Amino acid sequence: NPLKLFFLSRHIKCFIIFCLCLGLIFLHKELLMPYKPCRAKTNVMFLKTHKTASSTVLNIMFRFAERYNLTVALPADQLVHLGYPKTFLAHFVEEFEAIGQNYNIMCNHLRFNPSEVKKVMAANTFYFSILRNPIRLLESSYVYYKDNVPAFRFSKDVNEFLASPMKYYHLEHYKKNMYARNIMWFDFGYDNNAEDNKKYIQAVLKEIEQNFHLILISDYFDESMILLKHTLCWDLDDVIYFKLNSRSQDTVQTLTPESEERIKVWCSLDWKLYLHFNQSFWRRIEETIGLKELEKEVNRLRTRQKELMDTCLLDQEAVGKDDIKNKAFLPYQSGDANILGYNLKQDLDNMTLRTCQKMVMPELQYTSYLYTVQHPHKKRKILPLPLASFQEKTQLPTPN
Ligand SMILES: *[C@@H]1O[C@H](CO)[C@@H](O)[C@H](O)[C@H]1NC(C)=O
Ligand SMILES: *[C@@H]1O[C@H](CO)[C@@H](O)[C@H](O)[C@H]1NC(C)=O
Ligand SMILES: *[C@@H]1O[C@H](CO)[C@@H](O)[C@H](O)[C@H]1NC(C)=O
């Protein structure tokens, strides 16, 4: 029947046209919104500032380095920091002469010096750092460095110190006193005793913006981790953490409202640094992730964190230094602070145990461990910890 055939062919024609249209729509969508899977950035430099939750970030960086077999710029020989508080020089890095500009990750304490850091890190390296509200920071610094910092030693408490800081703070002790005034300014490589001058501050802020791609804010730590993950195209598990190097609540001193106001003046360089980058932090979030998506992702992070804590931890939370059973995981202790650590569950399978150990491993131990893995022919680091030989006391692989 020719009529039937006609209709059939019409149907076929319609079908073909429909298909073509569909294809065109998809093609068009592809061209307009190309699906761009991002690739995780693996060349990353983290400027580790003091008393800003940066030990937790260092742990994240080390775990990431291990996951991707990256080369970490570690402190040379028996150094535990990259020369801090000296201004950074490339030869503070182990095997710099042999490895040259081929390190992927750098995150141990150093005093920033861009020209020397660039000798170590590849040209396409991503630079970031973290800042904390100077009010909280100074109180934390006071307790942690009470015995080490001349300016802190002779005052009764942080409020007494702030009532008349110049009574205790003497410029000739500048090499140890940076913890007492504008410590973040100092860590970024600038003069923490410089005069508060608008033009000077503007110039420094501009320079930091040129040198760093991202500045995180530790007062919004989970939000910071989400922004970091997005910016570096990392997985959620890469930024899951257990809070490291925190202190017990009973060693926190209460600042009077007057003291809080005094810190803004006493550490005015840091205060302005913080205000500036707190603003740009939130602006960046709004421009990239958006507040709604941020909240969702922060919740995802906290759920996953809780999951891992349930898997790994005996006590569900950090414990005081005297309650840490395996002394191999005892964090370095300082001043009047009781620095907390973790106990792991017994009977974890080998894979889980490995993951959990890495998450609770304090900074010095992890630095020393990676050093032994990366530089097997060098003498091991002797740590300023009660347990001299860390590897023997854990089930971590001992490199031959
Ligand atoms: C890292 O190195 C190990 C051992 O050499 C290898 O098995 C693994 O596939 C590497 N992983 C990556 C992400 O390159
Ligand atoms: C930091 O930014 C947030 C969001 O804009 C704001 O709520 C907060 O008050 C800021 N912190 C300071 C110390 O200005
Ligand atoms: C787990 O590690 C222990 C000690 O290193 C080893 O004796 C055991 O065979 C390992 N178990 C598995 C399942 O790999």
Cα distance between the two ends of the chain: 85
Q: Which atom belonging to ligand 3 lies closest to the Cα atom of 395?
A: 5
332: its two tokens = 């370095």
Amino acid at 352: T
Q: Is residue 242 part of a domain?
A: yes
Element (H, E) at 362: none
16: its two tokens = 């073909």
Dist. CA 306 → ligand 1 center (Å): 28
Tens digits of residue pLDDT in 357-396: 999 999 999 999 999 999 999 999 988 887 544 444 554 5
Model pLDDT, residue 400: 29
Pick the residue whose CA is nearest to atom 6 on ligand 3: 350
Q: Which atom belonging to ligand 2 lies closest to the Cα atom of 278?
A: 1
Pick the residue whose CA is nearest to atom 13 on ligand 3: 350
Proportion of the chain above pLDDT 90, given as a percent = 75
Q: Is residue 8 part of a domain?
A: no
Tens digits of residue pLDDT in 286-295: 999 999 999 9
Tens digits of residue pLDDT in 335-365: 777 888 999 999 999 999 999 999 999 999 9
Give CA–CA dist 146/155, Å, rounded. 9
211: its two tokens = 């040198």
What's the pLDDT band for 316 if we cut at 50, 70, 90? confident
Q: Is residue 209 part of a domain?
A: yes
pLDDT(34) > 60: no
What is the pLDDT averaged over residues 279-284?
98
Dist. CA 380 → ligand 2 center (Å): 44
Pick the residue whose CA is nearest to atom 7 on ligand 1: 69
Residue 282 Cβ < 6 Å to ligand 2: yes
Buried b (16+ CB within 10 A) or exposed e, 376-395: eeeebbebebeeeebbeebe
Model pLDDT, residue 149: 94
Residue 275 Cβ < 6 Å to ligand 2: yes
Residue 351 Cβ < 6 Å to ligand 3: no
Residue 259 near residue 136, CB atoms below 8 Å: no
Q: Is residue 107 part of a domain?
A: yes
Pick the residue whose CA is nearest to atom 9 on ligand 3: 350
Model pLDDT, residue 217: 98
In sequence order, which residues have a C-beta less than 8 Å from that of residue 193 and are 6 or more positions away? 171, 174, 181, 182
> What's the pTM?
0.87
Pick the residue whose CA is nearest to atom 12 on ligand 3: 350
Domain of 264, CATH number, reads: 3.40.50.300
- Give the Å distances, CA to CA, from 373 to 63, 71, 153, 333: 13, 10, 39, 25
Residue 372 near residue 391, CB atoms below 8 Å: yes
Q: Which atom belonging to ligand 2 lies closest to the Cα atom of 217?
A: 1
What's the pLDDT band for 398 if we cut at 50, 70, 90? very low
Dist. CA 110 → ligand 1 center (Å): 29
Pick the residue whose CA is nearest to atom 13 on ligand 2: 275
Q: Is residue 148 part of a domain?
A: yes
Model pLDDT, residue 169: 96
Q: Please give the angle made by the CA atoms of 102, 38 and 231, to the nearest 5 degrees.
A: 75
Residue 289 near residue 223, CB atoms below 8 Å: no
Q: Is residue 345 part of a domain?
A: no
Give CA–CA dist 328/383, Å, rounded. 11
In sequence order, which residues have a C-beta less than 8 Å from that of residue 27 and are 6 or more positions away? none
Residue 68 Cβ < 6 Å to ligand 1: yes
Pick the residue whose CA is nearest to atom 12 on ligand 2: 275
Model pLDDT, residue 396: 53
Total count of domains within the chain: 1
Residue 347 Cβ < 6 Å to ligand 3: no
Residue 126 Cβ < 6 Å to ligand 2: no
Structural domain range at position 75:
44-312
Dist. CA 282 → ligand 2 center (Å): 8
Tens digits of residue pLDDT in 87-120: 999 999 999 999 999 999 999 999 999 999 999 9
Residue from 223, 271, 274, 282 whose mutation best tests the ligand 2 pocket (most atoms within 8 A of CB): 282
Q: Is residue 146 part of a domain?
A: yes
Partnered with residue 105 across adjacent β-strands are 44, 72
Residue 242 near residue 307, CB atoms below 8 Å: no
Q: Is residue 228 part of a domain?
A: yes
Give CA–CA dist 45/57, Å, rounded. 11
Model pLDDT, residue 395: 45
Give CA–CA dist 5/9, Å, rounded. 6
Buried b (16+ CB within 10 A) or exposed e, 115-148: ebbbebbeeebbbbbbbbbbbbbbbbbbbbbbee
Dist. CA 365 → ligand 1 center (Å): 23
Tens digits of residue pLDDT in 171-215: 888 889 999 999 999 999 999 999 999 999 999 999 999 999 999
In 3-state terms, the chain is what percent helix, strand and coil (to 5)? Answer: 55, 5, 40
Which residues of 263-393 form beta strands (DSSP E)?
A: none
> Mean pLDDT, the chain, as a whole number?
91
